[in-house]
Structure 1
């Protein structure tokens, strides 16, 4: 029996995974959530993608060009995913702007300050964390902003009649709702160590780091993620009020 210190690779591992998938599908179906099939496909994709990524990362971490290409691939997938969720296929590429605006400056600060090294084994996971956070923030902010602007079109027109500029009128309607995209990141940062021990902290501990070192790493990740998501949210709202996402 092999162990990663967190889970044991026993013969029952596949059985446990299948049972958990079945629970997710069963609950989604019985609760009529409309996502029973999506649970299956998401789990299958996760298994295939993680297996492929594990193999690819092992071969690219030592090559700077390959690392850059892999990060760009992650960025492209994040852009497509967020854009499709927000615009239903129309102008999905606009989602790339907030994701890049949030990820690039924060990653640059971390590298320029020497907080993280330029080794591929470090850049890839940190970039992935930032891209994932910006993907979530962009998707949530974009969907909330678009929904508000469509459903409350009359209120936007009323603000225009009162003398508001088009951008200001749209902002008054959609910004409060779209800003809620930051709530998950804020809650995660506020409750870290009290409710959950995030992945970076646990990973450092399993890798042999002291609890203090693991705590510092996790703090850097959370603060960087919150900054990146804040930028992504603001840029997403700006794109929505300018009509690029509606």
Structure 2
């Protein structure tokens, strides 16, 4: 079984994009332009990547280089979602910290063949999930710290260190970034049949094999996204990822007085 590539597919894709853009425009969601742009970019990028992957899958070094490119692009995308500031490049830490060692471990353990055709799709799934979780966690943490500035100041006035004060405010909200992957894992097979499962079936694998691969993907996503969210929140609360206004300046403004107060207390 395979999807028939032809005029009917092209028409279906165009209609779907136009419907999404029209609904966004009518309901004033302000995403109609972004929808069309995303669809056009996806078409161009997938076309180019399809040709590129066909040329590099036979080379392990080239496949590894492509995975590295995935990490850089994902970090740039997540960083821009969090902040327009250059500090968004810190997103490369959570995005590379878990996925890269996980993919390497899968290859070394023999679970994933050391071939580009296997490594690139697995890395893409894991890095993509980590990118989304990092962007959501960082953005929500920064938004929360801006919206609840007074509570951060209150925590600082009680003697909490800037990092600890920020964590008290941002941690719970940022943790909600894991809701999508958690729900997907809990409802797999009952509500949705994810891409890896369907792809394996279309490729001729047995349902058991497809289920095993999908289970591996879901559990890995749950693990790496949890790590990514924790690291992203830590980066925000330490002021490494910030915006031009908050919370960086707020936290920085309290570091001097906080240290001075600590020294006075110690002297007493």
TM-score relative to the length of structure 2: 0.87
RMSD: 1.1
2:70 pairs with 74, 81, 95, which one? 74
1:190 pairs with 182, 186, 194, which one? 186
Say if 2:144 is the partner of 1:142: no
Q: Secondary structure at the match of 1:209?
A: coil
2:225 pairs with 222, 229, 243, which one? 229
CA deviations over 1:120-152 (Å, ceiling 9, x no partner) = 111101110111011000000000001111121
CA deviations over 1:209-239 (Å, ceiling 9, x no partner) = 1111110010001111111101100000000
Larger Rg: 2
Structure 1 gaps of 5+ residues are none
State the match for 1:48 in structure 2: 44
Say if 2:110 is the partner of 1:111: no
Q: Secondary structure at the match of 2:205?
A: coil
Judging changes above 3 Å, is the alpha-carbon distance between structure 1 residues 166 and 89 closer, same or farther for their aligned structure 2 residues?
closer
CA deviations over 1:189-211 (Å, ceiling 9, x no partner) = 00000011011111111111111
Structure 2 gaps of 5+ residues are 243-268
Given that 1:106 and 1:227 are in contact with CA atoms closer than 8 Å, whether structure 2 keeps it comes out as no
Whole-angstrom distance in 2 between the partners of 1:127 and 1:57: 13
Say if 2:29 is the partner of 1:15: no
State the match for 1:167 in structure 2: 163
Whole-angstrom distance in 2 between the partners of 1:133 and 1:13: 27
State the match for 2:264 in structure 1: none
- Structure 1 residue 6 displacement after superposition: 4.4
2:79 pairs with 83, 87, 101, which one? 83
TM-score relative to the length of structure 1: 0.95
Q: Secondary structure at the match of 2:145?
A: helix
Aligned residues: 242
State the match for 1:26 in structure 2: 22
Of 99-108 and 62-71, the range deviating more from structure 2: 99-108
Whole-angstrom distance in 2 between the partners of 1:185 and 1:15: 32
State the match for 1:177 in structure 2: 173
Q: Secondary structure at the match of 2:143?
A: helix
